Structure 1
Amino acid sequence: PCPRRCRKGRFSFLPGRRETVWAHVNNSNCTSDNKISQVIFPLLYTILFLVGIIMNSLAMWVFFKISSKSNFIIFLKNTVISDFLMILTFPFKILSDAKLVSWVLRGFVCQVTQVVFYFTMYISILFLGLITVDRYQKATSPFRTSTPRSLLGAKILSTAIWISMFTLSLPNMVLTNKKKTPKSVKKCAFLKSEFGLVWHEIVNYICQLIFWVNLAVIVVCYILISKELYKSYKRTRCTGKASQKTVNLKVFIIIAVFFICFVPFHFTRIPYTLSQTRDVFECSAQNTLFYLKESTLWLTSLNACLDPFIYFFLCKSFRKSLIDMMCKHTASSELGARMKEQNEGDDTDETPL
C-alpha cells in the first residue's frame, strides 16, 4: 500500500517515479457534480448536434455543387468537412456523459472520438486563419483572381494540414492503451500510459502554439483590413454608397466567431491539462477547471453551427447556390400543390362528351 506521505502527493519521497503517476492516484477520488456533467452538458450538446447536422449537411450539399475556382472556396470546403466530422463525435459524448450506455463506450470516447474532436477543432482553427489571410488579400487586391498554380498550392496546403494534424493526433489514440475498467474510464487520463501522458501534454502545447499563432495572424489581418475599409469609407463618404460600406463589414464575422468559440477555451486548457497530468491542484480547483473546460469546450463546438454563417455572408457562390436551390424547391413544391389541386378538381368534374 502507498505510504501516507505519498498519498499526500509528496513526490520527493519516491525517487525514480514520475509525478504524473502519482497524479493518477491522487486524482482518482476527485469527482464532479453528476447533475451538471450528466444532464446539462449532454442536453447542450444535443441541441448543437441537431442544429449542426442540419446546417452542415446543407452546407456540404451546396459546396460540392460549386467548383473550386478560388483558394477561398477550397479553404471553406475543408472547413465544412472538418465541422461535419466534429459534429459526428457529439452523439458519443452525449451518450457517454449522460451514462445512457455501458462504461465501455466511455473508453471508446477517450481513445477515439475525443481525439477526433480535438483533431478537427485545430483543423478548423488553421483554416479560419487561412480564410482570414485570403480575405485580407481580397481587401487589398479586389480584382485579383486565382490562377491554376495558386489553386494547386491551396489544395497541397490543405492536404498537408490534414496529414500533419492526423500524425500529431494518432499517438493519442495508440497511447490510450491501459486496461479499461468502470473506474479507469472516469477520466481519460487514467487510460493513458506514462508516455501517453507526456505526449498528451506535448500535443497540448503544440495545439496552444497553433491557436496563438493563428490568433496573431487573424488580429493583424483584421487591423490591416480595418485600415483598408477606413480608406474605402473616406473615398465613398461623399458619394453616398452606404450599402457598399455595410457589405464590407460582413468580413468581421470571422474574427467574431473565432473570439467567441476558441479564445475562452484556450485560456482554460493549459491549467486543466496540468490538473489531469500533474498533482498540482486541490480537488475543488480540479472541479472548477473541469466545469470551465467543459463550458468553454461547448463554445468551441458552437463553431460548427456558426461557420455556415461565414459561408453564407462571405461566399457569393455559396449564397447564390443556396438561394437558387431553395427557390427551385419552393417552385417545385408550389407546382406540385397546383397539380394536386387540379387532379383533385378533376374527380368532381362531369365527364366531357
Structure 2
Amino acid sequence: MSCPNIMVNYSCSTNMTDWEKAMNQLYTFFYLIIFIPGLLSNTLALWVLCRFISKKTKAIIFMINLTIADLAHVMSLPLRIHYYIHQDWPFGSGLCLLCFYLKYLNMYASIIFLVCISIQRCAFLLRPFRAKHWKSRYDVCISVVVWVVVGLCCSPFILMRNRPDSAKANRNCFKDLPMRKLDFRLAISMMAAAELFGFIGPLFIIGFCTYLIVNSLRQRNRNDQSTGNTRKALRMVRVCTGVFLFCFAPYHINFLLYLMVTQCIITNCEVSRAIRQFHPISLCMASLNCCLNPLIYYFLTTEFKQQLSQHGSSVLRGRLMSMESTSSYRE
C-alpha cells in the first residue's frame, strides 16, 4: 500500500521491492522447516492428551485446545508454501482469507490459552481444596467462550483487507492483499484494543501468576513444606512466559508501528522501511509457537511423559514379540 500525496524516493521503493522478494524466500523456507515438526509434534500431543490422560486437571483441557489451535495453523502451511513458491493463488479468495484468518486465530487463541494454563496452575496451587471440586466441564465451557471471543476479535484482520478488482490481482494472497484505509479514530481504537487485550493484558496476567507462585515458593521454603508441586507450577508458568515473550512480543511491539505505516500515520521512508522489513520476521517468530507449545506438554506434564513412555514401550514390546513369534515359526 502506498500513501497518497506523499513522495517516496526511488531508492526507498527499490529497496523495499528487493526486500519483498527476499521475504518470499524467507517465508518459503521457514514454513517448510516448521511444517513437519509442527504437524508431527502437535498430532502426537493431541493423540496422547485426548486418549491416554485420564486426569482432566492440571490444565489438560486448555492444552488440548492449544494443540488444536496450532494444528489449524500448521494445516494451512502447505497452501502458504505453494503461494510463496509460485507467487500465484489458484484456490479462490475465500480459502485465501481463511488461511489468512487462521494465522491470527492461532496467535491469539494460543495467547489466551497460555494465560488460562498459567491462571489455572497458579489458582490450583494457591487453593488446592478448590482444585478437588473443579470439574472438567468448567474448562470446556471456558474453552468454548475463548474460541467464540477470539474468533470474533480476529475478524477485523480479514475485514481490513480489500478484495482485488482485476483478475490478475485476484490471484494474490496473504501479504499481497491490499489493506483498507481506515478512519484515524477507528485505526487508533483497533491498535489500542489489539495491544491491550492481545498482548499487554495477557503479559500482565502471566507475570502476576509468576509472582504469586514465586512468593508461595518462598513462603513454603521458610516453613520447610513440600515444594514439589510449587516448583512444577513455577516451571509451567515460566515456560508459558518464555514462549509468550519469544513468539509474540516482537510481533506486538512491531504491530503498532506497522499499522501506523499502512494507515500513512508514519511516512518517513527510512522508518517505514525498517518497520515493514521487520514485520515478516516477527510473523515468522509468532509461527514458531506451533513447534514450541508441545514442549510445554512433554517437559512440564508428568502424565504426558509417563503415558507416552508407557505407550512407546508397549508398542516396542509388541513389535519384538511379533518378530520373535515369526522367527520361531520359521525355525
TM-score by length of 2: 0.82
Report the Cα offset of residue 112 of structure 1.
2.3
Give me the whole-angstrom Cα distance separating, in 2, the residues matched to 1:206 and 1:56: 30
Aligned mate of 2:136, from 128, 151, 168: 151
Give me the whole-angstrom Cα distance separating, in 1, the residues matched to 2:33 and 2:58: 32
Taking only the aligned residue pairs, the percentage that are identical comes to 22
Once the two structures are superposed, residues 205-232 of structure 1 have per-residue CA deviations (whole angstroms, 9 ceiling, x without a partner) of 3222121101000111101111112223
Q: Could you tell me which residue of structure 1 aligns to residue 209 of structure 2?
A: 221
Once the two structures are superposed, residues 70-92 of structure 1 have per-residue CA deviations (whole angstroms, 9 ceiling, x without a partner) of 26112111111111112122222
User: For the pair shown, which has the larger CA radius of gyration, 1 or 2?
Assistant: 1
Report the Cα offset of residue 161 of structure 1.
1.3
Give me the whole-angstrom Cα distance separating, in 1, the residues matched to 2:165 and 2:227: 62
Q: Could you tell me which residue of structure 2 aligns to residue 178 of structure 1?
A: 163
CA contact (8 A) 2:182 2:263 kept: no
1:197-346 maps to which residues of 2 (within 5 A)?
202-210=189-197, 211-236=199-224, 247=232, 250-251=235-236, 252-278=238-264, 280-344=266-330, 346=331
Confirm whether residue 82 of structure 1 aligns to residue 69 of structure 2. yes
Report the Cα offset of residue 194 of structure 1.
4.3
**Which sits farther off after the overlay, 49-58 or 298-307?**
298-307
Give me the whole-angstrom Cα distance separating, in 1, the residues matched to 2:186 and 2:83: 24
Report the Cα offset of residue 260 of structure 1.
1.4
Report the Cα offset of residue 328 of structure 1.
1.4
Report the Cα offset of residue 171 of structure 1.
4.8
Q: Tell me the SS of whatever aligns to 1:31.
A: helix
Report the Cα offset of residue 234 of structure 1.
3.5
CA contact (8 A) 1:172 1:196 kept: no
Aligned mate of 2:98, from 87, 109, 112: 112
Q: Could you tell me which residue of structure 2 aligns to residue 92 of structure 1?
A: 79
The 3 A distance-change label for structure 1 pair 28 and 163 is: farther
Confirm whether residue 8 of structure 1 aligns to residue 7 of structure 2. yes
CA contact (8 A) 2:69 2:106 kept: yes
Q: Could you tell me which residue of structure 2 aligns to residue 18 of structure 1?
A: none
The 3 A distance-change label for structure 1 pair 105 and 289 is: farther
CA contact (8 A) 1:189 1:277 kept: no
- The number of equivalent residue pairs is 320
Q: Tell me the SS of whatever aligns to 2:45.
A: helix
Q: Tell me the SS of whatever aligns to 1:268.
A: helix
Q: Tell me the SS of whatever aligns to 1:259.
A: helix
Give me the whole-angstrom Cα distance separating, in 1, the residues matched to 2:21 and 2:289: 25
Q: Which runs of 5+ in 1 are unaligned?
A: 10-25, 347-353
The 3 A distance-change label for structure 1 pair 245 and 135 is: closer
Aligned mate of 2:111, from 102, 125, 141: 125
Give me the whole-angstrom Cα distance separating, in 2, the residues matched to 1:331 and 1:58: 20
The 3 A distance-change label for structure 1 pair 198 and 187 is: farther
TM-score by length of 1: 0.77
CA contact (8 A) 1:201 1:273 kept: no
Confirm whether residue 57 of structure 1 aligns to residue 56 of structure 2. no
One-letter code of the match for 1:90? L
CA contact (8 A) 2:181 2:263 kept: no
